[in-house]
Amino acid sequence: MTGREDHPWVEVAVKVPHDMEGSVSGALSSFVPLMMWEQQKKQSGTCLLKTTVVMDGHVDGILADIDAALRQAEAKHGLLEPMSVELQVFDADEPGGRPRQRQPRRVSSHLALGLPSHHLYGGSDHMLLLIEPQEAFGDGNHPSTRVALRLVDELLSGQHGPPPAANRWGLDAGCGTGVLALAAAALGGFKVLAVDVDPRAVRAAGGNLKLNPEPGCKVFLALGELSCARGPFCLVMANLVPTLHVRVYETLWQGLAPGGWLILSGFCQTHKDSILRPYIHHGAAEKACSVDQAWVGTLLYKQE
């Protein structure tokens, strides 16, 4: 691919039902002509579509186009669950090898993420969380995770007013690796209920709690639907795909205590207005917005 010699690049992996392989491939071909399919386990009924995008001035638009095409395909085929998308960033000189994570990554003013092998790395001005993603989403490579973590850091460091008091309850909705829950526990001293419907995510999150025992002892995992999380919570964090945001907004809003904070991410700028609309309609106030590539995170406040 032209330009890879000078720019980092991102690998986009989309898990697609077998019977949608042709339609999704055709929908994406105008944005990313170079694609590779990998057969998943037969019983899963899915294929994995991988493509690479150079991280130059066009990457934001391409990622937004990919996201829009996938959402249209989901609607056309009546999928009840969104197709999962994962991104990995590579250095320009890594033609297919290691993800770009030779050392912990500073993701916000007071937080860095690393692999278990980075346990000796330290810094006096920030907290290091060790994250092993396994099969779950949320190792910090994806921009939607980074914007959510930045907003958690900004909120808990008092950049948007007095932060919520420690030892109160937070919710990580669709927790993946548990990275947002661990960040809230580490930076704000919260007790966090971390919920995910995918048992692989809960297993991965459980391993990460053990890798980070001090904040991990404040995180409580639950396997199931978000309806099991009743609250009230002073902080709700939801890094979800747009279709899930639309489905769960009422659950998230009802679970958030008056005077509480809501961090939403997992969508592009084109989806922001439609995702925020029901919250704004119910009186939420947007206090901050963070953008990374084509991805957006937003911080909302629920009036008392």
- What sections of 47-167 are H helices per DSSP? 59-77, 143-156
Residue 16 and residue 24 in contact, taking contact as beta carbons nearer than 8 Å: yes
Task: Enumerate domains of the chain plus CATH numbers.
Answer: 8-21+51-92 (no CATH), 105-301 (3.40.50.150)
Q: Which of these, 75, 62, 1, lies nearest to 34 by C-alpha position? A: 1
- Residues 133-167 pLDDT 10s: 766 566 666 788 999 999 999 999 999 988 888 88
Q: Counting beta carbons within 10 angstroms of the beta carbon of residue 278, is it exposed (0 to 12), middle (13 to 18) or buried (19 or more)?
A: middle
221 vs 65, 111, 137, 251, 253, CA distance in Å? Answer: 34, 22, 15, 18, 20
End-to-end CA distance of the chain: 53
Predicted confidence at residue 3, as pLDDT, reads 42
The model's pLDDT over 19-55, given as tens digits with 9 standing for 90+, comes to 887 778 777 776 665 555 554 444 467 777 777 777 7
Q: Of the segments 29-33, 116-120, 221-225, 294-298, which one has the largest average pLDDT value?
A: 221-225
Whole-prediction pTM: 0.71
Residues near 89 by beta carbon (within 8 Å), at least 6 away in sequence? 8, 9, 10, 11, 55, 99, 100, 141
Picking from 51, 63, 53, 28, the residue whose alpha carbon sits closest to that of residue 295 is: 63
